[in-house]
Structure 1
Amino acid sequence: MRLTLLLTAAAVALTACGQQSAQKAEGQVSGGGSARNQVWAAGSSTVFPFATRVAETVARTTGGTAAKVESLGTGGGIKLFCSGTGAGYPDIATASRAMKKSEFEACQANGVTDIVELKIGFDGIVVANAKGAPTFNLTREQIYRALAAELPQGSGFAQNTAANWSAVAPGLPNERILAYGPPPTSGTRDAFVELAMEKGAEKVPAMAALKKSNEDEFKAKSHTLRRDGAWVDAGENDNAIVQTLEKTPNAVGVFGYSFLENNMDKVKAATVEGVAPSFEAISSGEYPLSRSLYIYVKKANVGVTPGLREYVTAFVSDAAAGRGGYLQDRGLISLPQAEHDQVKAAAQALTPMAAPTK
C-alpha cells in the first residue's frame, strides 16, 4: 500500500513538472516575456542614452529590475524586434527614424503584430569637429560634393577625388576631407543620407534631372558614401566619434545632437544652410538636419513582461519627455505640447500603428 502511494505521488509530481515545463515553453513562444523578469529594449545609439535614463528612473522609483537597453543601431534593433515573439526577442525597438514598410512586413510575417509606435521627440544630426579646429559653415550641396562616392561628370559619373574641403567650395577650410560617422545599420546614417546627401544632390542640376528620370538610381548614387578613406564607418557608439575628434582635429564627425549637447567642452558643430543646431532650431524644423525619434512596443508583451507598461508610460511622461523633463538634460528635443499629449494617450491606449506606406 505504501509503495502504491509513493508511486502515485511520484506520478503526480512528474505530471506537474511536465505541465510547468509546457507552460514555460508556451510563455516563451507566445507571451513575449514571461521567461524574463525585465524589459528589453534594443536599437538606436541616439535613443540609447534616453532609454537608459528612463530604465534607471523606473527601477529607482518602482524597486524593480532595470530594463536591459542595447545599442545595436536602428536597423539592427528593429530587425531583432521583428524576428519573432517570445522571451528571445526585445519588447521594444528604439529608432531614430520611422519603421520602414519592409520592416513592418517582416514583423507581420514573424508573428509580431499590434506594434505601438510612439514618437518621443526630435533630434538633429550634426557635423562637428574639435573645439580648436577650423569652423565649418556648410550647405547640404557641399556635404554631398565632399562625401558622395561618385559625382556627375559629362554624361555619366566619376569617382569623387576631392582631397580637401577647399576643393569642394571656395571659403571652406583647407583641411583634408575625413569624416567619421555611423554605419549603414544606424538610423543616424539613414537620416544623414536622406536629409544631407539626398537634399544636397537635388541642388546639382544633373542629379535633379536624374531624380526625375530614375529616382531609384538617384537615391543609390546620392546615398552611397565614399569608400576611399574620406568617410569612415565608426560604429554605433557616438561617444567614440567624439573621442576620435579630440585626437584627430582635422576630422569631422556625424552624430546626434544629444552627443553634441553633452560634449560642448570638446566639440563644436558646423552650421548647415546658415543655421546652427540648437534646441529651438531643431524643434521648429529650421535646422535642416532635424529628425524624429521613436520607440516601438509589442502590445502583446504588455502585462506579460514585468514592468513593460510602467517603462513605456514613464518614457512618454511629462517628467521624462515633456518640455523641461529630465531627458531634455540628455539632449532630447521635446514635442510640441499638443503632439506630446497625443503620444501619451496612444501609450495609455496601446493603439497599434498603421502599416507604413514606404
Structure 2
Amino acid sequence: MRGRRFFFIAYLFIFFMRIEIACARDQIQISGSSTIFPYAKIVAEAFGEAYHSYKIPVIETGGSGAGFQEFCRGIGSNTIDIVNASRPIKPGERQSCFQNGVKDIREFRIGYDGIIFSTNINGPDWNLRSEDIYNALGAYVVMNGHLQANFIKSWNEINPHLPPWAITVYVPGEKHGTREVFEEKLMLDGCHTSGAFDALKASGLDDKAVDVACRSLRKDGKAVEIDSDYSETFSRLVSNKTSMGILSLAYYENNADRLKVASINAIVPSEVTISEGRYLLSRPLFFYVKGAHLSMIPGLKEYIEFFLSDQMIGPDGPLVAYGLVPASDNERELQRTLLKKK
C-alpha cells in the first residue's frame, strides 16, 4: 500500500511539473559559450523571422563552464533549455546533471572553429611554437637545464627570432571553454616540447600534479585573464599595441582590418587548416539540449531543426559567412539524424 502511494505521489509530481513547465514559459532559454553566442544570436533572429508563432529565444553568455553549471541545475521552467559550448561536456558535469534530474542530454555539433593568437595589425608577423607560448605563460619553465618559476620578461628571451616585446597576453578566464581547449591542446604540448614536463616528473610529482603544473599560468601580470567576452580582449589589443590576445578565428576574421593573426608551429589558422585538422588549436563547437524539455517548451524542437539546417550551418549559410568552419555534408546530416532518432 505504501509503495503504491509513493508511485502515485511521484506520478503527480511529474504530471504537475510538466504542466508547470508548459504553462510558465513560452520562450526558449539559452546560455553558455561566448564563442557560440554570435552564431546563436544569428540563428535566433532568423528563427524569429521564420516562425512568427514563437518568440525569439533568449540567449545569455558567460562561458561554457558557467553555462553547464546553469544547465545542470535541474528540469523545469526556471532552468535553461540549451547550453552552448566550445568544448565537450565533462564527465563531472554530466554526473552533476544526472544527480539533478537532467538525464536525457542531447549533444549536437554545429561546426568547427580555431583558437588564435592575435596582435595589433601594425605589429610584426609572428610564428610561434608551442614551447614559445608555454615558456611565455607557464608558471614553471626550464632555464639553463633547471626547473624554476617563470620570470621571463620579453619574447626574444624565449626565441631570438621573436620581437623584443614585453610579454603581455590576454587569456580567457577559467570559466570559458576556450581557456580549457587552450590548456589541453597548447599548454600541455608546449610543456612537453619545452622540457618542462620531464623536469616536473623528475622533481617527484605524480602524473596528476604534473598535469596541473603544465596547465598553470604565471601570476605576475604577464598572463592577463579576461573573464568577459572577446570584445574586452579586442579593445585591449587595440589600445596596447605590443600585446597579444587569444581569440576565436571567427572573431579575428570579423576584425581583420585591425588585427593580425600569428601562425602556430608554422601553420596559419584558416578554414582549410582547421577543417583538415592541421592547425593545432582547432576545435568542434556544440550545443546541448535537455531532452525532457523538447515536448514542453514551445518551439524548442523547431529551433534545433532550424539551427541544424543547411540554411544556417551549411557552406552557404550565414554562420559560415560570419566565420564558422562548416562540418562535412555527412557530419551535418548525422546531427539532423540524431535529432530524429530520439
Q: Deviations over 1:206-260 (max 9, x none)?
A: 4146569732122111111121110111223102211211111111010111101
SS at match of 1:335: coil
Give the deviation of 1:50 after TM superposition: 0.7
Question: What is the identity, as a one-letter code, of the residue corresponding to 1:138?
Answer: L
The reply on whether 1:301 has 2:293 as its aligned counterpart is yes
| Alignment partner of 1:114 out of 94, 104, 107 | 104
Which one of the candidate residues 144, 151, 176 is aligned to 2:134?
144
Are the structure 2 counterparts of residues 23 and 112 from structure 1 closer, same or farther at C-alpha, using a change threshold of 3 Å?
closer
How many residue pairs get aligned? The number is 328
Aligned to 2:188: 198
SS, match of residue 333 in structure 1:
coil
Q: What letter matches 2:306 in structure 1?
A: A
- Measured against aligned partners, the alpha-carbon deviations of 1:65-124 in whole angstroms (never above 9, x if no partner) come to 111111110000001000111111110011000000000000000000110011111110
Q: CA deviation at 1:267?
A: 0.5
Q: Does 1:251 align with 2:243?
A: yes
How large is the RMSD of aligned CA atoms in angstroms? 2.1
Larger gyration radius, structure 1 or structure 2: 1
Which residue of the partner structure matches residue 30 of structure 2?
41
Q: Deviations over 1:142-197 (max 9, x none)?
A: 11010001224689742101111011111101001001121000000001111111
Change in Cα spacing, 1:26 to 1:211, as seen in structure 2 (3 Å) is farther
Mapped partners of 1:115, 1:156: distance in 2:
47
Task: Give the conservation status (yes or no) of the 8 Å contact 1:85–1:112.
Answer: yes
Instruction: Indicate which of 234, 240, 246 corresponds to 1:242.
Output: 234
Q: Percent identity over the alignment?
A: 33
Letter of the 2:79 partner, please give it: Y
Q: Residues 298 and 32 of structure 1: is their aligned pair in 2 closer, same or farther, counting only changes over 3 Å?
A: farther
CA contact (8 A) 2:147 2:199 kept: no
More displaced 10-residue stretch of structure 1: 312-321 or 104-113? 312-321
Q: Do the aligned partners of 1:31 and 1:304 also contact (CA within 8 Å) in 2?
A: no
- Secondary structure of the structure 1 residue equivalent to 2:311: coil
Match of 1:265? Answer: 257
- 1:33–1:301: 8 Å Cα contact kept in structure 2? no
Measured at CA, do residues 122 and 106 of structure 1 come closer, stay the same or move farther in structure 2, by a change above 3 Å?
A: same
Which residues in structure 2 correspond to 1:165-314 (within 5 Å)?
Answer: 165-208=155-198, 210=200, 214-314=206-306
Shift of 1:340: 1.3
- State the Cα distance separating 1:200 from its structure 2 match: 1.0
Match of 1:19 in 2: none
Query: CA deviation digits over 1:297-353, x for unaligned, max 9?
Result: 001101211111111111111111122211101211111111111111112334xxx
Q: CA deviation at 1:33?
A: 5.6
User: 1: distance between equivalents of 2:288 and 2:20?
Assistant: 17
For residue 32 of structure 1, report the CA deviation from its aligned partner.
Answer: 4.9
For 1:270 and 1:132, the matched residues in 2 are separated by: 13
Q: Which moved more, 1:34-43 or 1:100-109?
A: 34-43
Q: Secondary structure at the match of 1:226?
A: coil
Q: Which letter does structure 2 place at the counterpart of 1:92?
A: I
Aligned to 1:327: 319
Q: Structure 2: give runs of 5+ residues left out of the alignment.
A: 1-11
- Partners of 1:190 and 1:302 in 2: how far apart? 30
- Correspondent of 1:92 among 59, 82, 97: 82
Q: Report the counterpart of residue 160 of structure 1 in structure 2.
A: 150
